[in-house]
Amino acid sequence: MAGLHVRHRKTVALDSLDLDFGPGVHGLLGPNGAGKTSLIRVLATVAAPTGGRVEMLGEDIGDPRGRAAVRRRLGYLPQEFGYYPGFTVREFVAYMAWLKEMPAADTPAAVERAVARVGLADRIDAKIKTLSGGMVRRVGIAQAIVNEPKVLFLDEPTAGLDPEQRVEFREMLRELGATATVLVSTHLVEDVAAACTEVTLIAAGRLAYRGTPDSLTALGTTADGIGDNPIERGYTAALRAHRESAAVREVAAR
């Protein structure tokens, strides 16, 4: 993406952002209101930018034909996803596969694989309204991966998952990242440390830091910051450094 700009009425959510993501698992960090969800919504083709260009899987998503082609090959889990409570898990994931234009002959096996990967094989014929919040979240992950996407966008995917489920989810992310590009937006820095190959930190719609989890952890071992462990301290140190630099540029521009 180049010069990506997103405005919500008078608020700038993304400010001329330049980024590229290759294969692997990428952690997207930032404070509330940083623009993480706006970025993922644009990349997932559910929202249009107000400026800039985005290419994905060799397609320009600003072009309707390119956007349609990309949608068949991506997976997306928003922070809050809509579902039909009266559907069973099988029915809902199959419905989402249909929306992604998966071949009908391939769908039943693909649904069972996706549901098994999120640990819900024994509840595949249960109605979604009977599931716990954590289970519903896992249904959301299943629908995102049912088409074995080449690009996968997950917005706060571990919300509602218990510690054991989060460990299993991290392992699944690592497996998916071996063959696909996965972008995970989260507030849980430890998830990034455990599963991601690269970290992108944005603040106020701009790139604040980019590097590996190890480099962010190293930053936290040499700098004072708020957090219980080095990567959390590295996160706060990187954020503070970006804000200080932005303040200096603002003063110089006056």
Q: Name the one residue in this structure whose structure tokens are 């330049």.
A: 18
SS3 60: strand
SS3 126: coil
Superfamily per CATH, domain 24-46+63-253 = P-loop containing nucleotide triphosphate hydrolases (3.40.50.300)
Q: Could you tell me the pTM of the whole model?
A: 0.92
Q: Tens digit of pLDDT for each residue in 47-103?
A: 999 999 999 999 999 999 999 999 999 999 998 888 999 999 999 999 999 999 999
109-124 core/surface letters (b: 16 or more CB in 10 A; e: else): ebbbebbebbbbeebb
Distance CA 57, CA 41 (A): 17
pLDDT at position 225 is 59
Report the chain (254 residues): mean pLDDT per 10 consecutive residues: 92 93 95 94 94 94 92 93 94 96 96 95 97 92 96 91 88 91 90 91 95 91 72 90 85 72
pLDDT at position 224 is 65
Find the distance separating the first CA and the last CA of the chain, reported in whole Å: 30
